Chain A
């Protein structure tokens, strides 16, 4: 397979991460005000929470470390407010323990390294931004944390926002290198996790603020509201997965009834989704493409009417019947519109092209044609792509064809 994947097989690279965190810890410890025992406990807590995964829609690996990480500068440790040095020390030691724990647990070395590094960069930026805002709010206070609770809340909000943007960006860059998808698509996908992140960070701050007064009771105060949000996310994601599965199952009914080519909608959908991701469509547009591509041949179920077979039908009829079936669900009106226009050519000879034709429909048309050529007509992948190239600018959008080629190249079939 042509594309060389970025890999960090050599043990040198993870050791670099370990060395960085150890040196940060050694450098910072002499400056920190709090005692080693208290800081050590918080570092272990940070590592522990990093092991607990949180459901996120994008597929980004988020963990409860965001809660403890966000709480750190707000907490009261050993009777003093932790300064930048103690916070950095806790972060460095915590991440080191987390990395070791994950390697011991048997996670893949590359993943552990990437995740821990990303978390480390995010935490570092968070702490530094927090300190900077704190300094702006209370001038002349040096880098000491501010005391007034509302000032600390403002510092937390600003620092949290920066952390989140950096986290989503870093995740998108890493995943782009790993999976070769459009950077814009992934960044938007990462940002769509904002609610999960916000709920975790707010929980962290809540914990930090109430810890001072309530001590162990603060765990309850922070955990229960978060638990509610957590359960809600979990159920939402489960329902979304089920919804996708049901649509896929329905799309296969014409195939098992012998009215459409077996597996056609599945293959068309995966090619269309990858093409849409390559073209940098937004996450919700990609979801629409997935559903529309799965359902694009659902109109064929109508073909078991003997009368229709006698009368004959065109591709436009199939699109129209399919769109009618999809439109029965009030939540899929957009998808229905895409299905309705999936057979329209990019531009008819001698006419201006229709700018209202959605990119998603053009993608489905090309993906379906490619699958038809390779699976039904028995063409090779290269010949299938040639069909698209020949039809480019009339039947198919040239940009879409180029994107399909990139996807096929990435898959290693052409």
Chain B
């Protein structure tokens, strides 16, 4: 307990230091710019500030969990349009508007906006100074190369912007939270889009200097693209919500499997994250977990909930039903890879067991399926079924380890256990370590109810 409070206090002190440091450097840069430069025409500045604020408040998800916001482009367009002698001051004051995000207001955060103010101002001033330098070069040089110099300059400025911004954020995160942001790899993924946006931003700015009419046109095209991306994101959410809702509604009728799907999805995602899955792969495993039991839902309940072991005919019947439903879902192109994972999770690591759409005839099942299999088995052991009471977490862990290499993928088992341990939560019964005992207790329960 004591250690916890000191940590929080340390965190707070680090936060104050970082926020003050960043904000002061931001103010210093603004002061320096005020002496050195003059403010751009206020009407032009306002037009860009509105566009900047609009895109800054509404960044859209472009690719699975990757947010994109063309504010960099707006900033560079503005820098070129303002021209040398105005750009850095104009853009830096614009960037200051982006310091407060919608989330800061909602959660009443103070540290983020203050620290962001400083780092955004410094970043914007830095990249605008690069633009100014290149414009001067372009104006001095051959008129034929004018556009090339502008385009090159704003592309370089975009890279500078991204790197400086990244360095500021990484430093703050390391100092305050003691975490290292994944070094530069994420930036590498985003770099092409930064360069493209810088490139276009510079050209647009240079066009604007000549004809102002293009401003509303560019804005219209971007807003439409934005709107379409937002609708796309909404539709994708609706898609997930529909499937989730369907599974949930069907499960709710069955006392024993209620919540099973959601829990397996949660465990699978935890484990996959621990193994370093991101983006589409992570999303895919979550979806696979959501549909892994849909097949069973279409089977008459008396078969599923029947106490005791199923006869072999009943078992075949159950599998046949599950496969028919899987085949239907696999007709949806988008769901096909998920269904394959869901289906292959019945296969064992050593290649035995049965699979459906993603048939694995004696081959090692895909990693995703192994994760799902472990998560499914863990939840089955730690929750109460009609024929047995819930077992303890430590029993479940030891059982997973015992079957590693045979039924389960050994590495996945270790990652899974580590991931569950990290959550500091305990699943299952606190004491039941013996499946025979659990079964006897369930039978007694059934008898007394019957």
Contacts and interface: CB of A to CB of B under 8 A. Distances in A.
Interface of A: 149-150, 152-153, 195, 198-199, 202-203, 205-206, 209-210, 212-214, 217-218, 220-221, 224-226, 228-233, 235-236, 239-240, 242-243, 245-247, 249-250, 252-254, 256-257, 298, 301-302, 304-306, 324-332
Interface in B115-155: 147, 151
A245 B151 contact: no
B253 A302 contact: yes
B212 A331 contact: no
B228 A245 contact: no
Contacts of A325: 245-246, 249-250
Interface of B: 147, 151, 196, 199-200, 203-204, 206-207, 210-214, 216-218, 220-222, 224-229, 231-232, 234-239, 241-246, 248-250, 253, 294, 297-302, 321, 324-325, 328-329, 331-335
Given A221-B200, A246-B334, A149 B232 contact: no
B196 A224 contact: yes
A153 B213 contact: yes
A217 B147 contact: yes
Contact of A209 (B217, B226, B242, B243): B217
A219 to B, nearest CB: 10
B210 A249 contact: no
B136 to A, nearest CB: 20
Contact of A228 (B213, B222, B231, B335): B222
A236 B218 CA distance: 21
Contacts of A330: 241
Contacts of A328: 241-242, 244-246, 248-249
B232 A232 contact: yes
A233 B332 contact: no
B224 A195 contact: yes
A209 B213 contact: yes
Given A224-B200, A254-B298, A331 B331 contact: no
A246 B207 contact: no
A176 to B, nearest CB: 28
B130 to A, nearest CB: 20
Contacts, number: 184
Given A229-B224, A304-B300, 10 more contacts: A199-B224, A221-B207, A225-B221, A229-B222, A229-B228, A232-B225, A249-B332, A250-B246, A256-B298, A329-B241
A307 to B, nearest CB: 9
Closest 7 CB pairs of A and B: A328-B245, A229-B225, A232-B228, A257-B298, A331-B238, A325-B249, A329-B242
A24 to B, nearest CB: 29
A214 B203 contact: yes
Contacts of B234: 331
Contacts of B250: 301, 325
Contacts of A246: 239, 242-243, 329, 332, 334-335
A202 B238 CA distance: 31
27 contacts: A149-B213, A195-B228, A198-B220, A202-B221, A209-B207, A209-B213, A209-B214, A220-B203, A221-B200, A224-B199, A224-B200, A225-B222, A228-B225, A232-B225, A232-B226, A232-B227, A235-B228, A236-B228, A236-B235, A239-B232, A239-B239, A245-B331, A249-B328, A249-B335, A254-B298, A327-B245, A331-B238
A243 B235 contact: yes
A240 B28 CA distance: 50
Contacts of B331: 245, 249
B242 A213 contact: no
Nearest to B213: A149
Contacts of A149: 211-213
Contacts of A228: 221-222, 225
A203 B212 CA distance: 15
Contacts of A327: 245
A230 B225 CA distance: 7
Contacts of A205: 217
Contacts of B333: 242, 245
